[in-house]
Amino acid sequence: MNETTQQAIVQTLRERILSGELAPGQRLVEAQLAQWLGVSRTPLRYAFSVLAGEALLERSGARGYVVRRFGVRDVLNAIDVRGVLEGLAARTVAESGVPAALAASLNACLREGDDIFGAGALKEGDDVRYAEMNGRFHALIVEAAQNAAINAALSLNDKIPFVAPSTIAFDESARERQFAMLNYAHRQHHAIVGALVNGEGARVEALMKEHTHISKESLNLSLPALRLIAGAA
């Protein structure tokens, strides 16, 4: 079996864990999963070891694994970690200078956000559109820092539900508060780009850390979903 196929099995299991299809606390039985996925046990064992390294699975017994339960505190701590890492990346970019291509891409994100919030209320699909833009905005800054250690740490950290910038989770009954929170977060985007372009390393680092607080506030509007996906008590 080639490496691409092995990675596809890893990705399939990862997606099914994060979607809740493989539930928190569920024991993974090799024989059942192998039949379910139509694969042999050898690549499945490899996938288990990879996902255990990502903290999505925990060992149970000599060779077994269970889907890890993420507590609310795990999620909040991971959001703090993201703020520190992205703050370092942003400071690196600001102090080394912002290339014209990066500035243009970031400004395109700002224009898209401005268009989303210009109507004064979120239309259907705007939350998804914002999440995609937000993920792109953060990725541009992290990639521009050209720091492999930051990339690796964020990749691992983002495996915890609700932590990645492209994840926006709100209750449909809180649409007005959702609009206000995302609009505030987007104003922070403008401030971040301004600090980057002006070479204000310390300021943009602080802004990126502050920016993650909006992710924590959003969890107050999505606790039912958080409990479902994170398996919190």
Reduced to 3 states, what is the DSSP secondary structure of residue 207?
helix
pLDDT of residue 156: 86
Q: Do the beta carbons of residue 156 and residue 54 sit within 8 Å?
A: yes
Sheet holding 57-60, edge to edge: 27-28, 64-67, 57-60
Using CA atoms, how far apart are residues 139 and 124, in angstroms rounded to an integer? 25
Q: What is the pLDDT of residue 131?
A: 84
Each domain of the chain, given as residue ranges in start order, spans 3-67, 72-230
Whole-number CA gyration radius for the chain: 19
Residue with tokens 């505190």: 73
pLDDT for position 70 = 76
What pLDDT, on a 0 to 100 scale, did the predictor assign at position 97?
A: 97
Phi, psi of 199 (to 5 degrees): 70, 25
Report pLDDT digits (tens) over 31-64: 888 888 888 888 899 999 988 887 788 888 776 8
Other CB atoms within 10 A of residue 213 CB: 14
Q: Are both 3-67 and 72-230 of the same fold?
A: no
Closest CA to 165 of 86, 111, 101, 62: 86
Sign of the torsion angle spanned by Cα atoms 132, 135, 137, 143: negative
CATH 1.20.120.530 given to domain 72-230: yes
The fold of the 3-67 domain, in CATH, is: Arc Repressor Mutant, subunit A (1.10.10)
pLDDT single digits (tens) 88-120: 999 999 999 999 999 999 999 999 999 999 989
Q: Where do we find the tokens 């559109």?
A: 129
pLDDT below 70 — which residues of the chain?
1-4, 18-19, 63, 168-174, 219-233
The two tokens of residue 105 are 């891409």
- What pLDDT shows up at residue 3? 60
